[in-house]
Structure 1
Amino acid sequence: MDCAVDVWGMTVARLGRGSANVQGSARVSALTASSAPRWQESTGKPVVRVLDKPTPQTLIVSWCDARSGHYGYQTWRAVVARKRGMCVLTGHLIKAGEMVYKPRSEGQPPANGDAMILAESIHAGKAPAGSSVVSEAAGRRERANAAEGGAFGADPPAPRDVI
């Protein structure tokens, strides 16, 4: 068996088409893997939420995708786009030379390492259905509430003595 075959991709492809042709699925998967990032191969779009903007050059993003994984609190940094692409938050076309945010990678790049968010969409507060831009203050409130142990920031009720 070829170790380079994407077993998960074959499984998803077979489920989607109802095909029993494993060899054909493997060839399609191999072609797709070489031409598109893993997160773009999936039929569904990743769920992307901008949680916070701690500095003008960074974003904190929650990324959830069945193929590329879940990054609950991922730092993205502002850079100039080296190639054209698509904004994962709005779906708008990104041209080379535009300011974008990309996942920060230390060592091996993350599975969503080539994803981009158009900086203009963050500054304008644009967010289509299925994604969101959470304000800086709202992001801080969410983290503070989580740190306090409650979704609403309230203390849990005290236990009662049973007699």
Structure 2
Amino acid sequence: MALLSNEGEIQAPVVSSCLRPQGGECNFRECVIRVLERHGRSSATVAWSDATSCCYGEQHWRRCVAKKAGVCALSGQAIKRGHAVYRPKRVQPTPLNIEAMILATALEAVSLEEGF
């Protein structure tokens, strides 16, 4: 209900006080992402919620270099091979969002106080 505007139209979800761009090739554009904690520049704890596939209340993401092109799940920006990104930590069982990437610049720009 909180996503409905006064006119009854569905609005884009708020992600750490940033609106995710609509459209594009991002497989994760329907999810809600919150940056809960940053551990320096090497890792972060992220809350990930996607009603169509998975929900992780506290998921550990690590900073690495993108091995392939993609789309930032947080900002919708293009990711090129070689960009600094954060990815979910590989654990067992394998997270359903293991292919997701967040640009390091986008994650590091989010204020932890926003959206809480």
Q: TM-score normalised to the size of structure 2?
A: 0.69
Equivalent position of 1:111 in the other structure: 96
* C-alpha distance in 2 between matches for 1:83 and 1:108: 23
Larger fraction in strand:
2
Q: Which has the larger radius of gyration?
A: 1
Q: TM-score normalised to the size of structure 1?
A: 0.50
Larger fraction in helix:
1
Equivalent position of 2:107 in the other structure: 122
RMSD of aligned Cα (Å): 2.2
Residue segments in structure 1 that go unaligned for 5+ positions in a row:
1-38, 126-132, 143-163
One-letter amino acid matched to 1:68: S
Please say if residues 79 and 99 of structure 1, whose CA atoms lie closer than 8 Å, have aligned partners that are also in contact. yes
Runs of 4+ in 1 over 3 A off after TM superposition: none
Please say if residues 74 and 107 of structure 2, whose CA atoms lie closer than 8 Å, have aligned partners that are also in contact. no
Identity %: 39
The alignment of Structure 1 onto Structure 2 pairs a total of residues equal to 90
Please say if residues 52 and 134 of structure 1, whose CA atoms lie closer than 8 Å, have aligned partners that are also in contact. no
1:4-23 equivalences in 2 (<5 Å): none
Pick one of 57, 64, 73 that aligns with 2:49.
64
Alignment deviations for residues 91-116 of structure 1 (CA, whole Å, 9 cap, x no partner): 00000010100000123320000000
Alignment deviations for residues 14-47 of structure 1 (CA, whole Å, 9 cap, x no partner): xxxxxxxxxxxxxxxxxxxxxxxxx92x8x6100
Comparing both chains, which one has the higher relative contact order based on Cα–Cα distances under 8 Å and sequence gaps of 6 or more? 2
The residue matched to 2:38 in structure 1 has which SS? Answer: strand
One-letter amino acid matched to 2:82: G
